[in-house]
Chains A and B, each alone.
Chain A
Amino acid sequence: MAAITLQGLSKTYRSHAHPRGLVALDDVSVSVADREFLCLLGPSGCGKTTVLNVLAGLDRDYRGDVAIDGRPLPKNGVGPFRIGYVFQEPRLLPWLTVRRNLHFALESFGVPREEREARVRTWLRRVGLAEFAEAHPHELSGGMQQRAAIARAFAVEPQLLLMDEPFSGLDELTARGLREQLLALWQETRRTVIFVTHNCFEACFVADRILVLSARPGRVRHEVRVDLPRPRSYDSAQLFELSVAVTRLVTEVPEEG
């Protein structure tokens, strides 16, 4: 498990469309406690995904300091810690079966064979895909593919779990089921999670704490602590009230200054 600190993180994208650079993140500081479930909430284009990509080592062109458990993130991006990442799309290798997709990730981390077998079996069972271990991704529904991706992220036993709008491509009914499943798995394992979303209700349902970001440039606007008891229910009136309040924070027009 790990505590994360991002200090003064800034990121500018340069392209033909923006020759002088598009500021995606401007001086963003975030700290995540060990075993905390943090949500980054904001409109598209507020640089939420950039934060995840910096932590995952996919984006190395940024300014600011990033530390995991007090150790600075090496600039080559390959830290000594394990990260699980659930992307917006399942990102399974289409030519491998579900089982071998999980093996691929575990092998990459150098998990020995015996243990790999056991972990893959456990996690496929936990997400309810035991019967589909030998299926190829295209044979599964979108929700099942995303469950496989969640199993893959948990199976590497990550110190930090990154989730980038993992349910936004699914219908709401499927998404509800998966959110509950995710929270149940999280309560068992208590990984540190950074969860990115633009859905206010979803943020209130899953998070311990929500950071509301503004768009272009991405800045931290508000911090909301979610003190609702777990396990949470979709029918809770408190949850509904909180999500209305958070929606107001997200949609307000920030005063220029």
Chain B
Amino acid sequence: MPGDGGTRPWRTHGFVVRLTSVVVLLIAWQVVSVLISEKYVPGPAPTFAALAVQVASGAVLQHLSITMVRMLASFALAMATGIVIGTVMGLYRRGEQALDLWVMVMLTIPGLCYIIVSFMWLGLNERAAVLAIAWTTFPSIAINVWQGVKAIDQRLIDMARVFRASPWRRTARVVIPQVLPYLMAAARFGLGVVWKVTVLVELLGRSDGVGYMLNYSFQMFNMADVFAWTLLFTLVMLAIELAVLKPVEVRLFRWRPELRA
């Protein structure tokens, strides 16, 4: 088929472009490192070496896992809150009028403020950490869900009603598929925020986690370790994107023309 013939070389081509861009990045990194000095900009080799040492010592396992647990707990809390508030705002005009200002204000307040307030209210503990991260993250999720619920096409719901689909069936088969792209965007956006805030929380008020180790490396002025922890973080994020988000998205939205190209 002509369609198949066109798709495959295109995909391969995309992969080559991506690989080339990674190689170029590594080369540029090395060049900058040589030009400035290993001391201030450790090259790829010393960075990976430092990371290997941290992995071997068990530090990576310990600190990365605690960071991931905090992240996931906060992310789940932020998603749950964001979905409820976004849905209420999308469905009810009164809900929208009552809440849109609050959500906007909460979106504008810097994450640092939530972190400080949470630690002062609840003490330097896990509950405060999770609260602070979720608090910073949920407004952007709520906004995405709000837009998604508002964009629901009532005409399709009417169609389902005429064909006698039960309320449950209308929700599961007509409403949720329409909101899914927005939920996906909310999740992706939320994860990005959660990452950034989690390290900040760990730096300010926890004595373990990747953020704590970054701060520790900073105190020791160990540039290679700072780079190593940052690199680790980046790799984990990429893995989540490529191993979880992307496949889910492709699976869910295969029908959409723009994702087929």
**Which A residues fall within an 8 A CB radius of B?**
56-58, 78, 82-83, 85, 87, 89, 91, 93-96, 104-105, 108-109, 136, 138-139, 152, 156
Contact = CB atoms under 8 A, between A and B. Distances in A.
Contacts of A152: 163
A89 B163 contact: no
Nearest to A137: B255
Contact of B155 (A83, A91, A104): A91
Q: Which of A56, A82, A93 gathers the greatest number of chain B CB atoms within 10 Å?
A: A93
Please provide the 8 A-B residue pairs with the shortest distance between their CB atoms, ordered closest to farther. Answer: A108-B165, A105-B163, A91-B159, A85-B162, A95-B255, A108-B163, A56-B162, A136-B255
A156 B253 CA distance: 28
A104 B162 contact: no
B163 A57 contact: no
A177 to B, nearest CB: 24
B249 interface: no
Given A93-B174, A94-B255, A95-B255, A85 B165 contact: no
A108 B169 contact: yes
Contact of A109 (B161, B163, B253, B257): B163
A83 B162 CA distance: 7
A58 B177 contact: no
8 contacts: A58-B158, A91-B158, A94-B255, A95-B177, A96-B255, A136-B255, A138-B257, A156-B163
B160 A87 contact: no
A91 B159 CA distance: 7
Contact of A89 (B155, B165, B166, B257): B155
B39 to A, nearest CB: 55
A167 to B, nearest CB: 18
B164 interface: yes
A169 to B, nearest CB: 13
Nearest to A53: B158
A203 B106 CA distance: 57
Contacts of B159: 85, 87, 91
A105 B162 CA distance: 9
Contacts of B98: none
A247 to B, nearest CB: 30
Interface in B156-187: 156, 158-166, 169, 173-174, 177
Contact of A78 (B156, B164, B256): B164
Contacts of A96: 255
Contacts of A108: 160, 163-166, 169
A72 B161 CA distance: 19
Contact of B163 (A94, A95, A104, A138): A104
Given A87-B155, A91-B156, A95-B255, A57 B162 contact: yes
A58 B161 contact: yes
Contacts of B161: 56-58
Given A105-B163, A108-B160, 20 more contacts: A56-B162, A58-B158, A58-B161, A78-B164, A82-B164, A83-B162, A91-B159, A93-B156, A93-B177, A95-B177, A95-B253, A95-B255, A104-B173, A108-B163, A108-B165, A108-B169, A136-B255, A138-B257, A139-B257, A152-B163
Contacts of A94: 255
Contacts of B158: 58, 91
Interface string B131-174: 00000000000000000000000011011111111100100011
